[in-house]
Amino acid sequence: MNYKKLGTTDLDISTICLGTMTWGEQNSQEEGFQQMDYALDKGVNFWDTAEIYSIPPKEKTFGHTEIIIGNWFKKTKKREKVILATKVAGPMRPYVRGGGNQYDKKNISEALNGSLKRLQTDYIDLYQLHWPERNTNMFGRLGYEHNENENWNKFEDVLENLKGFIDQGKIRHVGLSNETAWGVKKYLEISKDHNLPRMISIQNPYSLLNRTYEVGLAEISIREEIGLLAYSPLAGGYLSGKYRNNQLPKNSRIALDPKFWTRYNKPNTSKAVDAYYEIAKKNNLDLAQMSLKFCEIQPFMTSVIIGATTMEQLKSNIESVNVKLSNEIIKEINDVQKLYSNPCP
């Protein structure tokens, strides 16, 4: 396994992060336990979850993934071997504390204490704001629409709220998710100017089908030492090749909930996937492993979050750290990006 520092901290985290969002929906607790056992044994010490998981988010499965992880901690007594990340949900869903703005002290307190209880731990290594409270571009949305009159919790107040929980020992570090370049820079400026906790990571989408992070945010990641935790590095499974030629495998994410995963079903998705498949085939590489390795080697990358529903997928994804991509393969990948630029933003 390969390791990098988590932002400006002294934590060494695996460059492959164990994603967990299917546990409690597509995967049972037993299957989640098997994944955690295997991943930790292979050196994957960084795990990511969220209070709103399982995915797709539903009221009846809210918090289920954290419960499964907590039960594993209780069973194995291995909490100290894991660098654990979770997230407080942003606004939008009425069943999450009424659905309004969430990053005030009261709501963060309720969310954090709920996560701690479900995870059966007394601290979170990385506590992330799952998505912005303000109206901005996220989850594949294009065309920014500015609203001068909308309200959200001031960034300084949010950092003050988080500082209180850091001081209590409930949170070690804080990070962002689904954030824009403007949002990241503002948080960094405010933390510096007011001596408040510094955001140490950005969890945003990045894959061969969505390299929009490279515009603006990549430079910030490198210069400010606030690396990317890439989610959807296989674009919801499209970059495994399993949906090629109009295939729809039983129990796949797209088959189970096609409406939730529409951000990847775009006009040039299939063309781009086919082109990347041919590169992998020509070089005797597995498409998914090639896709993950390309993400891992980016200079702005801290860790690539994988999400497997089978042990076969998990083993293959973790093995991607041992794949080598030549300069010629990288050039071919970049040529496809020029031809089909970010088909799934």
Q: What is the pLDDT of residues 6-17, one digit of tens each?
A: 999 999 999 999
Q: Low-confidence residues of the chain, pLDDT below 50?
A: none
Prior bond of 56 cis (ω within 30°) = yes
SS3 content of the chain, % helix, strand, coil (to 5): 45, 15, 40
Helical packing angle, 29-41 and 311-319, nearest 10°: 20
Give the model confidence (pLDDT) of 221-253 as tens digits.
999 999 999 999 999 999 999 988 888 777 777
Positions annotated as catalytic residues are 53
The CATH superfamily of 3-142+150-236+296-324 is NADP-dependent oxidoreductase domain (3.20.20.100)
What are the C-alpha distances in Å from 212 to residues 180, 220, 309? Answer: 11, 13, 27
pLDDT of the residue at 164: 98
Predicted TM-score (pTM) of the model is: 0.96
The residue among 129, 127, 128, 134 whose CA lies nearest residue 100 is 134
Nearest to 186 by CA among 153, 149, 138: 153
- In whole angstroms, give the CA distance from residue 236 to residue 244: 13
Instruction: Give the pLDDT score at 260.
Output: 65
The confidence score (pLDDT) of residue 248 equals 77
